[in-house]
Amino acid sequence: MAFTVCSQNDSLYRYDATTENPYGLPNPDAPDRIKDFDPLIGKCNCRSVSRSAGQPWSDTIVMTWRFKYIMNGYAVQDETFKADDGYSGSIRVFNTDSAYWQVHYFDTGSTPDVLPVWTGSKTEDGSIILYRPSPRPDGMEGFYRITFFNISESGFDWIGEWVDEEETMRYPLWKIFCEKSN
């Protein structure tokens, strides 16, 4: 059996990161929705605060959040580098069958057998909202909802919160505020 070796310069990977485009490019053959994350592509300096249910907010943690196109411009990857030595990231792929983003999250603080998956889409106001089923500690059904909002070329805000199934109750658990650094 013969194997073909592909180089980074091979035309198969023309939308991956290069010196000229360090965060890659959206593939023109990818679903148009790949551009939902376009304003986030690049590197941001961020401040993160979080809390557990019923607890006060933690001290602010400084972090860098970097977004880039991967898989030859068909997906988006993000990575965070936190001042407390925590690292995390996601792989974001747009599912054309469901018309939703599927986001697989991972971090160095825990290694679950199955990666958590959020699904969602960009809203009319330009926010990106993603959901993962997650019961409240007392068992009430609901979702962990994450929202990218105030998205602009200069940065964005992010919130992670528990919401009930009707989204009438919400409990913020994590907030991140980011400014573009490049």
Residue 134 lies in a domain: yes
In a domain, 4, yes or no: no
- For the chain, counts of helices (H) and of strands (E): 0, 10
Q: Alpha carbon of 70 to those of 24, 30, 51, 129, 138: distances in Å?
A: 7, 12, 32, 21, 39
In this prediction, what percent of the chain has a pLDDT beyond 90?
Answer: 80
Residue 1 included in any domain: no
Q: What is the DSSP string of 33-74?
A: GGGGGGGG-EEEEEEEEE--TTSPPPPPEEEEEEEEEEGGGT
CA distance 106 to 96: 23
pLDDT score, position 85: 87
Would you say residue 96 lies in a domain? yes
Least confident of 9-13, 79-83, 123-127, 160-164: 9-13
Flag whether 15 is in a domain: yes
Does residue 107 sit within a domain?
A: yes
Q: What is the CATH number of the domain that holds 72?
A: 2.40.128.20
**Range of 127's domain?**
11-180
Residue 77 lies in a domain: yes
Q: Say how many domains are in the chain.
A: 1
Q: Is the pLDDT of residue 1 over 70?
A: no
- Does any domain span residue 63? yes
Q: How far apart are CA 140 and CA 74, in angstroms?
A: 37
Q: How far apart are CA 93 and CA 111, in angstroms?
A: 21
- Residue 122: pLDDT band (50, 70, 90) is very high
Q: Which residues contact 45 (CB under 8 A, 6 or more apart)?
A: 62, 64, 178, 179, 181
pLDDT digits (tens, 9 = 90+) for 136-153: 888 899 999 999 999 999
Predicted confidence at residue 10, as pLDDT, reads 60
In terms of C-beta density within 10 A (0-12 exposed, 13-18 middle, 19 or more buried), how is residue 53 classed? exposed
